[in-house]
Amino acid sequence: AQSVTQLGSHVSVSEGALVLLRCNYSSSVPPYLFWYVQYPNQGLQLLLKYTSAATLVKGINGFEAEFKKSETSFHLTKPSAHMSDAAEYFCAAGAGRGGYNKLIFGAGTRLAVHP
Amino acid sequence: DTGVSQDPRHKITKRGQNVTFRCDPISEHNRLYWYRQTLGQGPEFLTYFQNEAQLEKSRLLSDRFSAERPKGSFSTLEIQRTEQGDSAMYLCASSAQGHTGELFFGEGSRLTVL
């Protein structure tokens, strides 16, 4: 069965520092992979997605993620953190009958950015 | 605002009561999803519809849970004989066909069962 593991439930960085949020997936077939972000009191929003095209995927707000099949990883990075990046981030993998019609989410990583 | 809307946003009920949540998806989206999220966890898939057809249900969706999307537009999620373990945030999302995994989420309906 498909599963998604996010290493680190809380990550804290300084403003301007590199952001690295880790995600590993388990799958017997190449998955569709996603990162979603949830700001306080808002619904989840799609940051970026991997669908077996380019392995380096660029998303909104300067985030990107790299699909590494050998490591079954899809880590999210941003070169320079901004205070507005403070939020909870969820990695997800597509799964389901007849295609990838449902998402399996990781437990989430809460990102704090301090001055 | 043309996003996904959910109602009510908060519901407090006593154990054993029935509750119903409503979701209005983005109008041109034919797929609608229900997820449940508890504290410290990511959203867990419950069920999804393509138009009015319920195509998949999770084992999490016990007999006390039922979801409908009668006209392929809004959806309802009913929980009968609520239990304290049902306390969670219930999330609705919608997507357009051909946009796999690109879900647009509502802000959720928080259920507290006393």
Pick from B56, B93, B108: which is nearest to A97 by CB? B56
A9 touches chain B (CB under 8 A): yes
Cα end-to-end span (Å), chain B: 33
The three-state secondary structure class of B16 is coil
Query: Do the chains contact at B107 and A43, CB–CB below 8 Å?
Result: yes
Q: Is A90 on the interface with B (CB under 8 A)?
A: yes
Mean pLDDT of A99-110: 84
Q: Tell me the pLDDT of chain A averaged across its residues.
A: 90
B107: Cβ–Cβ under 8 A, 6 or more apart, which residues?
A41, A42, A43, B6, B9
Report the pLDDT value the prediction gives residue B36, as an integer from 0 to 100: 96
Backbone phi, then psi, for B43, in 5-degree steps?
A: -60, 140
pLDDT digits (tens, 9 = 90+) for A89-101: 999 988 655 555 6
C-alpha–C-alpha distance, residues A54 and A75, integer Å: 15
Name beta bridge partners: A68. A73
d(CA A93, CA A105): 7
Q: How many CB atoms lie within 10 A of CB B74?
A: 16
Q: Determine whether the interchain pair B101/A9 forms a contact, defined as Cβ–Cβ distance below 8 Å.
A: no
> Given the structure tokens 């899809």, which residue do they identify?
A74
Strand partners for B23? B6, B75
Look at residues B93, B63, B86, B78 and name the one whose alpha carbon lies nearest to residue B14: B86
Q: Please write the tens of the pLDDT for every residue from A46-98.
A: 999 988 778 899 999 999 999 998 899 999 999 999 999 999 999 998 865 55
**Which range in B43-52, B53-62, B96-105 is most confidently predicted, on average pLDDT?**
B43-52
Find out whether A4 and A91 touch, Cβ atoms under 8 Å.
yes
